[in-house]
Amino acid sequence: MKKSNFKAKKICVIMTFILSVLIFLAGLWQLGIYKKLKNNCTCTTTGVIVNEAHYTGGKSIQEYIEVKTDQYFNKGTIYASNREDKKGDKVIIHYDKDDPDSYYINDRVDEYKDAAVFIFVISIFMFMLTVFLAVVIRKQMKKSQEKTPELFFYE
């Protein structure tokens, strides 16, 4: 086999490895967001969904939540993407009293954990693919070297 083919395959393995590392780092980032929200958002307040706006043909719903304010969380209205709740439903807002801009609604923080697990699984799959490609390329290279006779140059 030509040397340029092996070089191209080697570049493919390196790119696959880099992609698996980047995907793994994205999983760590998602897990960090989850832990930060879960550990720091210990205060709660309530809110009521007062309006829903439908986007992209009704597939995406933006909910407007009127919040019962307190001394720390003083936002009167917040917006969130909706998945389960409907207009008129009461929701619980978990927030960080030191940073009221960090909050989550009901148990939606678990979506970050689910995303992190999914991303970790993908990164493991990508790493296994990288190892598989490296092994296959190495075997092909050995076979190619065995088939190619040594060329001796005499003067």
Domain range for residue 124? 1-36+109-146
For residues 46 and 62, membership in a common domain is answered with yes
For residues 98 and 114, membership in a common domain is answered with no
Residues in Cβ contact with 94 at an 8 Å cutoff, skipping those fewer than 6 apart: 37, 41, 42, 43, 44, 103, 104, 105, 109
Query: Does residue 15 belong to any structural domain of this protein?
Result: yes
pLDDT at 58: 63
Model pTM above 0.75: no
Query: Does residue 154 belong to any structural domain of this protein?
Result: no
What is the C-alpha to C-alpha distance for residues 146 and 148, in angstroms, rounded to an integer?
6
For residues 69 and 87, membership in a common domain is answered with yes
pLDDT at 21: 93
For residues 47 and 99, membership in a common domain is answered with yes
For residues 62 and 102, membership in a common domain is answered with yes
Query: Does residue 152 belong to any structural domain of this protein?
Result: no
Q: Which residues of the chain have pLDDT under 70?
A: 1-4, 57-59, 82-83, 147-155
Please check whether residue 95 is in contact with residue 68, taking contact to mean a CB–CB distance below 8 angstroms. Answer: no
DSSP at 155: -
* Total number of domains in the chain: 2
Could you tell me the two tokens for 155? 């003067």
pLDDT at 148: 59
